[in-house]
Amino acid sequence: MMLKKGFRFDARSCSGCKTCQVACKDKQGHGMTTRFRRVYEISGGAWVQQGASWHQNVFAYHLSMSCNHCDKPICVEVCPSRAMRQNEDGIVTVDENRCLGCGYCAFACPYGAPLLDLSSGVMTKCDLCADLLREGKSPTCVAACPMRALELEDVEDLRQTLGRGAVFPFLQPTLTEPNWYVALHPDSDRAADGQARIANREEVEPK
């Protein structure tokens, strides 16, 4: 069963304010270091001085990233204990009673979604705020976005209008078919050409 509603992300509007990240931590009751949602800062460009003036072609955009509850979730495919599973509604969750804490799903996931919970010794991940969805509400990150850059919308429509997110620094979405549909920032092309780098690596990588 596939997800009915997926993330619509507007990379043109995201300011990198990380409210989604922090609101998620509050919802999940996380301490430090665990971040189901992280915000990548991608930047590039250079400066040239000509006489008295500086010329530049600097650009930057931000990407808010969490589990995308892929239609072909590789974490589910590779999990040796079948603790990682895709539910009836398409949401990918960890069965905490089965997980060995081997971390292989984290190695496999191109989006850094599964994280090791040091206190329980098992993997943990975003469940799309399934409890809120049942109450007819939006996931916490979506309801939090001050820029209205993150929405949860019907995947049928999103597939027609936007397509799955194919944007630097992430892999081709054909690999796992993430439910992350992206309105691209105009400078994404330049990043794809190798002109950009992740500027805030220590803020997004698991610790």
Task: Name which of residues 71 to 110 contact another protein (CB under 8 A).
Answer: 74, 77-83, 98-104, 107-110
* Residue 1 or 32 having the CB closest to another protein: 32
Half-sphere exposure of 102 (CA within 13 A, CB side): 14
For another protein, which residue of 1, 32, 88, 134 counts as binding (CB under 8 A)? 32
- Distance from C-alpha of 28 to C-alpha of 39, rounded to nearest angstrom: 17
Residues in a beta bridge with 10: 183
Q: How far is the CB of 4 from another protein (least distance, A)?
A: 22
Q: Which two tokens stand for residue 92?
A: 């990918």
| Region near another protein per CB under 8 A, out of 1-9, 46-54, 86-94, 155-163 | 46-54
Interface positions, 111-150, toward another protein (CB under 8 A): 116, 121-122, 137, 140, 143-149
- Distance from C-alpha of 104 to C-alpha of 114, rounded to nearest angstrom: 9
Long-range contact set of residues 26-29: C-beta below 8 Å, sequence gap at least 24: 26/140, 27/129, 27/140
Interface positions, 159-188, toward another protein (CB under 8 A): 169-171, 175-176, 185
Site for another protein contains 43 (CB under 8 A): yes
Q: How far is the CB of 72 from another protein (least distance, A)?
A: 10
- Distance from C-alpha of 35 to C-alpha of 52, rounded to nearest angstrom: 45
* Residue 51 or 88 having the CB closest to another protein: 51
